[in-house]
Amino acid sequence: MTMQISQLFPTALLGLASQSPLTFASEATKSEVTSFKQTGLRHSYGGNAICTTGDATVTVNATDLVFSGSTTASQYEISGILREALQINSTWTADHTNGTAAVTGPFKIAVQLCLPTKSTSENYSYVNAAAEACHATLMYDRLGLGGSDLPDPSIVQSFVHVEVLAALVGALKTDMYGSHHFSKVACVGHSHGSFIQIGHDVKYPNVGDAAILTGFGSDLTHVAQSVLAGDATVARDVDPARFGDLPDGYLTNPNAASLMVHYRYPYYDTRLFEQQLPIAGSTFSLADVITSGLVLASAKGHTKPVQVVLGQYDFTFCSGDCSRTADPTIGAVKTFYPDAEVGEGYIVPTSGHCINNHYASGEAFAHMLGLLKEQGL
Ligand SMILES: *[C@@H]1O[C@H](CO)[C@@H](O)[C@H](O)[C@H]1NC(C)=O
Ligand SMILES: *[C@@H]1O[C@H](CO)[C@@H](O)[C@H](O)[C@H]1NC(C)=O
Ligand SMILES: *[C@@H]1O[C@H](CO)[C@@H](O)[C@H](O)[C@H]1NC(C)=O
Ligand SMILES: *[C@@H]1O[C@H](CO)[C@@H](O)[C@H](O)[C@H]1NC(C)=O
């Protein structure tokens, strides 16, 4: 069983719009999936898996930061805040938050459980490659994105993402998604998803039977510039038809060029890029950006296998050249998983940050699935 968190690095901002009720509660509950409603069935791209789509209701035990002041911001203010919050040695977060509050949900999380069927091959789909290797996958939309709930964006923080992940992993070990349960769960994160994965393993060591962090490395020095290169823009202004109903604080990447910091030409299929463009660009909030790094710590006591996978030309974690310094994949294993009994790194040749969308994706998938095979998962 592999869980995939398929998100780009979040590229947008804050806003305390009050369309959605805050779900603060004084009593901590366990983070768990309390119900699941199937909404459809489809094949994975490439046809190797049959996927049940559905909505999981998730309650969480998360502690968020509380932003102070009125933050329903204009594009000017948002762009200003983002620069101030990401500037070197910024004190913005300390200056603009006032304590913490419990967040419990419940939140709707859109998930897809994919079980292997027959074997065909198609590039660019980890779900499909995993099915070919006989792994089921659970893929989901992060809170604040796609088919999942889009609550008041100020509460969409990494602390909540960590708890949603914990709930979804826990549910895999029961019959929560129909009659399927899994004794082993390997977690796969991408970019922001890798931050969330580390946060999860810090708080819940050894719950996942393996952690694969893609689009992530040890050098965080230039992450801020890469976020800024994404041109975080108020989502409603970018695409009123698609995002018109969202609260103000949701942001997105406004156009093709703003996504290209994550791509390395000519090592990807531009036709595919164009096809995906109408659905590309995740939504994210200022709170998402500000809190993404706050769950990073050393996952002490997490002994399960870890693999870090990074594109050779990744701008976010290598300033565009991952061969320049000490191997940032091994560096990430050492920094974040000091107790892992197996720790591997793999630099994907000729790939940018969005590994799955480059021609070399197949090589990355082979390494990722190779770890699971080696480890008997
Ligand atoms: C909720 O989270 C807090 C802080 O991490 C923890 O101390 C507490 O035990 C958790 N409660 C439950 C029921 O898991
Ligand atoms: C930033 O803070 C670090 C200590 O956390 C300090 O060593 C460094 O000099 C500071 N840089 C600037 C530009 O202030
Ligand atoms: C911080 O929150 C407390 C409790 O809600 C409130 O009394 C106080 O005025 C707030 N402080 C600031 C600086 O907003
Ligand atoms: C799929 O990947 C293989 C090599 O990994 C490549 O030769 C082939 O052209 C790719 N197919 C498509 C449709 O991109």
Other beta carbons less than 10 A from residue 227's beta carbon: 24
Q: Is 56 helix (H, G, I), strand (E, B) or coil?
A: strand
Tell me if 326 CB under 6 Å of ligand 2: no
Nearest CA owner, ligand 1 atom 8? 28
Per-residue DSSP letter, 341: S
Q: How far is CA 297 from CA 109, 124, 143, 309, 343, in A?
A: 26, 31, 22, 19, 17
Nearest CA owner, ligand 1 atom 7? 28
Q: Tell me the residue type at 346.
A: Y
Cβ atoms 162, 205 nearer than 8 A: no
% of the chain at pLDDT higher than 90: 71
Is the Cα dihedral 146, 149, 150, 156 positive or negative? negative
Q: Tell me the residue type at 105.
A: G
Nearest CA owner, ligand 2 atom 8? 89
Helices (H), the chain: 75-86, 92-96, 126-132, 158-172, 192-203, 223-229, 235-238, 240-243, 256-259, 270-276, 286-292, 315-318, 328-336, 361-374
Q: Is 38 helix (H, G, I), strand (E, B) or coil?
A: strand
Tell me if 88 CB under 6 Å of ligand 2: yes
- Reply yes or no on whether the pLDDT at 5 is more than 60: no
Q: Is 92 helix (H, G, I), strand (E, B) or coil?
A: helix
The per-residue pLDDT for 150 is 94
**Ligand 3 centroid – CA 66 distance (Å):** 10
Q: How many CA atoms lie within 13 A of 350 on its CB side?
A: 11
Tell me if 179 CB under 6 Å of ligand 2: no
Mutate to test the pocket of ligand 1, among 61, 163, 164 (most ligand atoms within 8 A of CB): 61
Domains and CATH numbers, the chain: 2-374 (3.40.50.1820)
Nearest CA owner, ligand 2 atom 4? 89
Tens digits of residue pLDDT in 144-191 = 999 999 999 999 999 999 999 999 999 998 888 887 889 999 999 999
- Ligand 2 atom closest to Cα of residue 88: 13
Cβ atoms 251, 347 nearer than 8 A: no
Q: How many CA atoms lie within 13 A of 136 on its CB side?
A: 18
Instruction: Please choose, from the candidates 135, 199, 146, the residue with its C-alpha nearest in 3D space to the C-alpha of residue 172.
Output: 135
**Ligand 4 centroid – CA 121 distance (Å):** 10
- Ligand 4 atom closest to Cα of residue 122: 1
Cβ atoms 284, 10 nearer than 8 A: yes
**Ligand 4 centroid – CA 226 distance (Å):** 28
Nearest CA owner, ligand 3 atom 3? 98
Tens digits of residue pLDDT in 253-289 = 999 999 999 999 999 999 889 988 877 778 999 999 9
- Ligand 2 atom closest to Cα of residue 89: 1
Could you identify the residue written with the tokens 């942001």? 251
Tens digits of residue pLDDT in 62-102 = 999 999 875 567 899 999 999 999 999 999 999 999 999 99
**Ligand 2 centroid – CA 87 distance (Å):** 11
| Protein residues whose CB sits closer than 6 Å to any atom of ligand 1 | 28-30, 61
- Reply yes or no on whether the pLDDT at 20 is more than 80: no
Tens digits of residue pLDDT in 112-133 = 998 888 655 567 888 888 888 8
Cβ atoms 143, 193 nearer than 8 A: no
Cβ atoms 314, 357 nearer than 8 A: no
Q: Which of 187-201, 279-293, 335-349 has the lowest average pLDDT?
A: 279-293
pTM for the model stands at 0.86
